[in-house]
Copies of this chain bind each other. A is one copy, B any other.
């Protein structure tokens, strides 16, 4: 984005109306803007977790919200099939979702009725708003570490081993500033998640006082509430799995969260990915109603991944059942069965082609 004129903390204007979201103070600044003066509309730049959560929160506070997404759908952290369901939920609640566009420029317009902002996007449209919130990702803060001679990797984050040791003896690092060990990739990537930071911090602390604990690794497990939906994922997206040398095959199923005869059943959309060659479980993504225990359902898959399970193992697992909450086969298991059936079919058609 070029020509972004942010007034955030620059003191060039008495009215702060373009916000970056990084610290708690940033979020209090948004709060102040909403309470201290009439604020009717917002343009949100970036449709990742933070942008989507802001769209939810600001809509619920009565603002008209426009969300600009650079990718072809929202939430690139999930498969586009499921991202489309999230975009639908946003639109259902009145959010103007613009996909495939980035913000090119923000201008302040002042006329007799007061002042406002317009965001010009990359396809030439202009979006007016009282405030603009920018959430386009984070970069690791490594200046202090680099000044101490600590090695930084290609991602720009600090290199650590699984003991959270940096390249300099007795200097440990953890959290959003480090490259994180990924259990499925068997290597390091950059991933800023609170859960990971907590685990790494604990390990760095223990090892700094003489311990020898190892970080088990991330699986990229994440969840998000957006209006009445929950979106959750764990493991690898298809393109990530391919890049890591797997032979990913995915299925998407729809199943009720619990027995339909018990009131309140809602549909879940589950995408499951496994390795075609070995049957190894590689990941899952779920979208459905926020009451459908989705965040903990994804954790069932995360737990199975943590222990190197196959897709078929999911099917053998003794999961709980009572009609208000599940079915004798949990939706996770129905997805596993669909995956196994699809794999058999794929192998058959492969055999027939020879």
Contacts and interface: CB of A to CB of B under 8 A. Distances in A.
A351 to B, nearest CB: 19
B222 A320 contact: yes
A328 interface: yes
A75 to B, nearest CB: 13
A237 interface: no
Interface string A205-226: 0000000000011111111110
In the complex, the count of this chain's copies comes to: 2
A240 interface: no
* 3 nearest CB pairs, A to B: A307-B307, A296-B296, A216-B316
Nearest to A298: B320
Interface residue tally on A, bucketed by range: 35 or more
Contact of A225 (B198, B230, B300, B322): B322
Contact of A325 (B216, B225, B326, B328): B225
Nearest to A319: B299
Given A307-B307, A322-B225, A302 B317 contact: yes
Interface of A: 183, 193-199, 216-225, 230, 232, 234, 290-291, 293, 295-300, 302-304, 306-309, 313, 316-322, 324-326, 328-330
Nearest to A329: B198
Contact of A304 (B183, B224, B303): B303
Contacts of A221: 318-320
Given A304-B303, A306-B313, A328-B195, A295 B318 contact: no
13 contacts: A194-B321, A195-B319, A216-B318, A221-B318, A222-B320, A230-B325, A299-B330, A300-B300, A300-B303, A302-B317, A302-B320, A307-B309, A307-B313
Contacts of A197: 328
Given A296-B293, A299-B300, A326-B295, A318 B198 contact: no
A297 B293 CA distance: 9
